[in-house]
Amino acid sequence: MVKTSDRYVVFLDIDGTLMGKNPKALEQNLSIIQKVRSLGHKVLINTGRATSYMPKDLNLVKDFDGVVSGAGAIVRLDGKVLSRKLMNFDMVIEACKLFADSPILCVLEGEENIYYFAEDRLEREGWIRLDKSNYANIITPDIPVEKFTVLGTISKEISTALNEECVLIQNPAYGEIIRRDCSKASAMKIVADYLDIPMSHCIAMGDSMNDYDMIEAAGVGVAMGNAIDKIKEIADFTTSDVNEAGVAEALIKIFDLK
């Protein structure tokens, strides 16, 4: 499907794309990824997850050439940070004020830690709970925050307050709020420019709305079998479901692997 003599860069979403509920599918995906890398191509994670919220099942340093985290907030390649665009402190504090009054789970996904507001009393392992009484003491200007996430639908109040400086992406079960100058597609271009390759040599795979822009911008855009219809409509082709190793199947097809 591609000229294997040329150099390509593959960008993979994590949840619903690289990883699902089938560990054997992940093993198959990782095996084929190593074959692609052995041919001289680069393979990067491109996820909405912040740096501090990466799955423990993945060895990001060993199995990938780089990671885009926070839906474009931080771009890392070959151990180097190519771009780092964090939420500015004023925006973080504005979000905290809104989240403190929200009845739903609201999360600040940081580079080092996850912070959250919640009315329930459930403790999230490794996460730092915030409330009206403590957030001003915990969230300081030196806390690196990559993005915000809310469980359920982003409220009109939150949308109105943050819409000017942020992009709001509504998924079926949760909403994501990222800097307006960040996206998975813009991160992809940063990597392509750094490697001096055209965007037509970028390959992107995903399943949800935060993958839309990178699949549309890539030379080859692949929708997972479990992807939402809007992703399938713009993709060059649809591969198998995440639990059927759809990433491996797509890479075998694209690079004509035996």
pLDDT of residue 2: 86
Q: Is 251 helix (H, G, I), strand (E, B) or coil?
A: helix
Show the 3-state SS of 110-136. Answer: ECCCEEEECCCCCCCCCCEEECCCCHH
pLDDT of residue 123: 85
Query: Is the model more confident about 119 or about 142?
Result: 142
210-249 residue pLDDT tens: 999 999 999 999 999 999 999 999 999 999 999 999 999 9
22-61 residue pLDDT tens: 999 999 999 999 999 999 999 999 999 999 999 998 999 9
Residue 4 has pLDDT above 80, yes or no: no
Query: pLDDT tier at 13 (50, 70, 90 boundaries)?
Result: very high
CB 208 within 8 A of CB 17: no
pLDDT of residue 179: 96
**Domain positions in the chain:** 9-85+182-255, 89-179
Amino acid present at 108 = L
State the CATH architecture for 9-85+182-255.
3-Layer(aba) Sandwich (3.40)
Can you read off the two tokens belonging to residue 251? 């890479």
Fold of 89-179: 3.30.1240
pLDDT of residue 213: 98
pLDDT of residue 3: 80
CB 150 within 8 A of CB 158: yes
Q: How far apart are the first and last CA of the chain?
A: 13
Identify which of 48, 51, 59, 65 has the alpha carbon closest to the alpha carbon of residue 206: 48
pTM of the model: 0.95
Identify which of 175, 164, 176 has the alpha carbon closest to the alpha carbon of residue 73: 176
Helix (H) or strand (E) holding 214: helix 212-217
What is the DSSP secondary structure assignment for residue 140, as one 8-state letter? Answer: -
**CA gap 257, 61 in Å, rounded:** 24
Query: pLDDT tier at 120 (50, 70, 90 boundaries)?
Result: confident
Identify which of 98, 101, 236, 229 has the alpha carbon closest to the alpha carbon of residue 172: 229
pLDDT of residue 54: 97
